[in-house]
Every structure is written in structure tokens, then in C-alpha cells.
């Protein structure tokens, strides 16, 4: 498929600078672009690439003014937010290239009495347990397991191989990627006098609110009692472990390989980097930014930026890192001073 700058600008309410008939058929990064591609400029650090890019069309901010001393060999479309505009265009193309399926493929199992709307899709080898409630336009791909008494909201997509155990609730407009496990038992064991462990039954559930996306092979354990809660708008990357009775505040994003221990409470609008470890039974406030590989053993206040282990203020962590690099030289200076003092004595 080909699109002209004129067609794209009309769709995104943009202003054209250059050739309105410039054509594109693919997307690219600005530094690697080839003719026939569209790219974007959102980060000012990438501005130098604009004057060398081979892209046919570049999305830029409406207040962007090209350098008059440099040649511009591409067509610009000025928009309010280039990154959001690119996201909208990618969504449009993805919808066109990957139309959503419908109907019930065979072999699959749908328990008697489960109502499946006409616009729903259930892929081959899927299992839908008794008393499951499916919303409108739900898409359940092959080899998905949905346990009994589970509720799944409108427009939710569950990709191949995901497992949702009994009694869990999935909201509207959610996406569960391949291999996700929702509602497996929390890690609950009681030590005994003979130094063995008795399993503590996990009789709670998992509640996932609307507009949540969960990456491939991420696990969210059911609560011992009550519910593990993922609030609306949360985005979880691949390979994340959410333990029993955890609560994640709305619109928080968490990167891969993070582990959150039981009963921890994570606030809203947070950003947590990869490989972060959060101890159990603590509270992380709202609007907290956590650097990659940080260990969080205790409570964190609202609006904090933290890094390191144990976690400290991000600025303090950066200063400490600089000082650590200077320790070797400092040690040599101290040794030289000690040697000089000893010689004088």
C-alpha cells in the first residue's frame, strides 16, 4: 500500500511542508530511513539526522523550524505530537494488515451455558470453563485456557497459550500476550517444626481493570485471600512476576524482569525499569521513577526518583557512582601520605 503526504496529513490533521504527493509504503527510524518510508522526529537530539535522512516523509512538531543553512530533502508533516501520531498511524496499518478473526474454531471446548457473542473469536484447542462470562468482541487465540467463573470484558484480546485460572476478572480493552499466566497460586508456605513446609491454600483471585496490557510470559499470582489488583491503564512488559496480594496503581508502567513480592503496593503513574526488585509488604508512592536493577527494601515517598541498592535518590546515586570510580586514586593518595608520615617518624 502507498500513501501520499496529502492523504496522511488529512488523516492526522497535519500541515505539509514540501511535496504533498510524496509517497510512502513503509515505516523506518530516521537514521536508517530509505526512500518510500515515513519516520518521525520527536527527540531534539536526533535533529541532525533530519538533514541527511532518505525518508520521503518526516513527522515533526508544529513549532519545528528547519535550519535555513541546511538543505532539506524530505517532506515534513507538522503535527502536535510526532510520536503519538506515529503510534496512531501504526495502529491504523496494523488493523488493516491483521484483521481480527471471529467465530469458534474446532477443536475447542466451550462449557455448556457459556454465551459467546457473534463477534467473539475462540481459536482451536482453547478451553473455556463453566460459568465464564465473555464480553463483546473478545478474542481468545488458540491454546488459551480460561478457568471457571472467570469474567472477561469487552474487546479484550488473549493471545496464544495464555492461561487464566478460575475466578479471575479481566476488564475491557485488555491485551494478554502469549504465555501470560493469571491467577496461579501465590508463593505461600508455612514452615513446620521438622523444617518442612505446608502449603497455604490460595483462595483469593486476580482482578485486572480496563485498558491493561500484559507482556509475554508475565505472571500475576492470585491472592491468598482477597485479590491481587492490577488497576486500569497499567502496562506490564514481558517476564515480570507479580506476587500474591500485590496492588499496582493505575497507569503505572513496569519493564521486563521486574519482581514484586507479596502484598507490596505500587502507586499510580509510576515508571519502573527492568530487573527491579520490590520487597514484600511495602508501599511505593505515586509518580515514582525507578531506575533499572534497583532494589527497593522499604517504603518510597510520592514523586521520588530512585536508583541502586538499597534504593537512594537518583541524584545521590549518580554522585556516589562518580566517587566510587575515584576510590582507587584516593586509596593511592592516602597510602602515599601514610608512607610519608611514617618516614618522618
Distant-in-sequence contacts of 123-127, Cβ < 8 A, 24+ apart: 123/160
Residue 25 within a domain:
yes
CA distance 122 to 106: 9
pLDDT given for residue 30 in this prediction: 96
Is the per-residue pLDDT at 115 higher than 90? Answer: yes
Q: Do the beta carbons of residue 137 and residue 172 sit within 8 Å?
A: no
C-alpha cell at 324: 566510587
Separation in Å, CA 183 to CA 109, 165, 201, 224, 280 = 20, 5, 13, 11, 18
CA angle at 167 for the pair 226 and 156, rounded to the nearest 5°: 110
In-domain check, residue 40 = yes
* Residue whose entry in the numeric block shows the C-alpha cell 530516521: 30
CA distance 196 to 213: 38
On whether residue 225 sits in a domain, the answer given is no
Q: Percent of the chain having pLDDT more than 90?
A: 84
How many other CB atoms sit within 10 Å of the CB of residue 322? 8
Q: What is the pLDDT of residue 6?
A: 96
- Compare 331 and 273 and report the one with higher pLDDT: 273
Q: What is the number of other CB atoms lying within 10 angstroms of the CB of residue 114?
A: 17
Q: What is the pLDDT, as a whole number, of residue 20?
A: 97
Q: What is the mean pLDDT of residues 250-272?
A: 98
**For residue 209, is it within any domain?**
no
Percent of the chain whose pLDDT exceeds 70 = 100
Transcribe 74-89 into DSSP letters: SEEEEES-HHHHHHHH
Residues 31-58: tens digit of each pLDDT: 999 999 999 999 999 999 999 999 999 9
Average pLDDT, the chain: 95
Residue 92's domain comprises 3-97
Rounded-to-integer distance, Cα 257 and Cα 243, Å: 13
pLDDT the model gives residue 104: 96
User: What pLDDT score does 12 carry?
Assistant: 95
C-alpha–C-alpha distance, residues 304 and 180, integer Å: 30
Rounded average pLDDT over 302-316:
90
Query: pLDDT confidence of 327, banded at 50, 70, 90?
Result: confident
- Per the document, the length of the chain is 345
Beta strand 103-104 with 109-110 is unpaired
Q: How confident is the model at residue 135 (pLDDT cuts 50, 70, 90)?
A: very high
**Phi, psi (degrees; rounded to nearest 5) at 90:** -65, -40
- For residue 276, the model assigns a pLDDT of 98
Banded model confidence at residue 345, pLDDT cuts 50, 70, 90? low
DSSP string, 298-310: S-B-TT-EEETTT
Q: What is the pTM of this model?
A: 0.86
In a domain, 44, yes or no: yes
Residue 338 phi, psi (nearest 5): -60, -40
83 located within any domain: yes
Q: Are 218 and 196 in contact (CB under 8 A)?
A: no
On whether residue 29 sits in a domain, the answer given is yes
pLDDT, residue 206, reads: 98
- pLDDT-wise least confident of 140-149, 151-160, 305-314, 315-324: 315-324
Residue 312 confidence (pLDDT) above 90: no
pLDDT at 36: 97
- Min mean pLDDT across 107-116, 202-211, 260-269, 304-313 is at 304-313
Does 22 reside within a domain? yes
Kind of pairing, strands 197-199 and 189-191? antiparallel
What is the residue-wise DSSP string for 22-64? Answer: -EE-EE--TTT--TTEEEE--SGGGHHHHTT---SEEEEETT-
CATH of the domain at 9: 3.40.1390.10
Q: What's the number of domains the chain is made of? A: 1
Among candidates 200, 244, 249, which has minimal Cα distance to 219? 244
pLDDT of residue 328: 85
Place of cell 525518508: 55
- Residues classed as catalytic: 244
Q: Read off the pLDDT of each residue in 143-153 and give the average, rounded to a whole number.
A: 98
Amino acid at each position: 500500500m502507498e500513501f501520499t503526504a496529502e492523504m496522511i496529513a488529512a488523516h492526522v490533521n497535519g500541515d505539509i511542508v514540501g511535496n504533498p504527493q510524496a509517497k510512502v509504503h513503509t515505516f523506518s527510524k530516521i537514521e536508517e530511513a530509505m526512500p518510500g518510508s515515513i519516520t518521525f522526529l520527536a527527540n531534539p537530539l536526533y535533529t541532525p539526522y533530519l538533514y541527511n535522512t532518505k525518508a520521503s516523509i518526516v513527522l515533526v512538531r508544529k513549532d519545528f523550524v528547519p535550519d535555513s543553512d541546511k538543505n532539506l530533502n524530505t517532506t515534513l508533516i507538522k503535527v502536535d505530537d510526532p510520536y503519538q501520531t506515529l503510534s496512531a498511524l501504526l495502529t491504523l496499518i496494523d488493523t488493516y494488515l491483521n484483521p481480527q478473526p471471529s467465530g469458534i474454531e474446532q477443536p475447542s471446548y466451550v462449557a455448556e451455558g457459556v454465551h459467546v457473542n457473534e463477534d467473539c473469536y475462540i481459536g482451536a484447542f482453547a478451553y473455556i470453563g463453566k460459568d465464564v462470562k465473555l464480553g463483546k468482541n473478545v478474542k481468545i487465540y488458540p491454546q488459551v485456557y480460561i478457568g471457571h467463573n472467570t469474567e472477561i470484558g469487552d474487546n479484550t484480546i488473549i493471545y496464544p497459550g495464555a492461561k487464566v485460572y478460575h475466578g479471575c476478572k479481566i476488564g475491557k480493552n485488555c491485551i494478554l500476550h502469549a504465555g501470560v499466566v493469571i491467577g496461579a497460586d501465590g508463593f505461600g508456605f508455612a514452615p513446620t517444626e521438622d523444617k518442612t513446609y505446608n502449603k497455604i491454600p490460595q483462595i483469593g483471585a486476580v482482578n485486572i481493570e480496563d485498558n491493561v496490557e500484559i507482556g509475554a510470559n508475565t505472571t500475576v499470582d492470585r491472592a491468598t485471600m482477597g485479590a491481587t489488583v492490577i488497576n486500569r491503564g497499567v502496562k506490564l512488559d514481558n517476564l515480570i512476576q507479580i506476587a500474591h496480594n500485590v496492588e499496582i496503581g493505575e497507569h503505572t508502567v513496569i519493564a521486563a524482569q521486574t519482581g514484586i513480592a507479596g502484598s507490596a503496593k505500587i502507586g499510580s503513574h509510576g515508571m519502573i525499569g527492568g530487573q527491579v526488585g520490590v520487597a514484600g509488604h511495602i508501599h511505593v508512592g505515586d509518580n515514582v521513577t525507578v531506575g533499572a536493577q534497583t532494589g527497593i527494601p522499604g517504603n518510597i515517598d510520592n514523586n521520588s526518583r530512585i536508583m541502586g541498592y538499597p534504593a537512594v535518590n537518583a541524584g545521590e546515586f549518580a554522585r556516589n557512582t562518580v566517587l566510587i570510580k575515584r576510590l582507587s586514586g584516593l586509596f593511592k593518595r592516602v597510602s602515599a601520605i601514610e608512607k610519608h608520615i611514617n618516614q618522618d617518624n
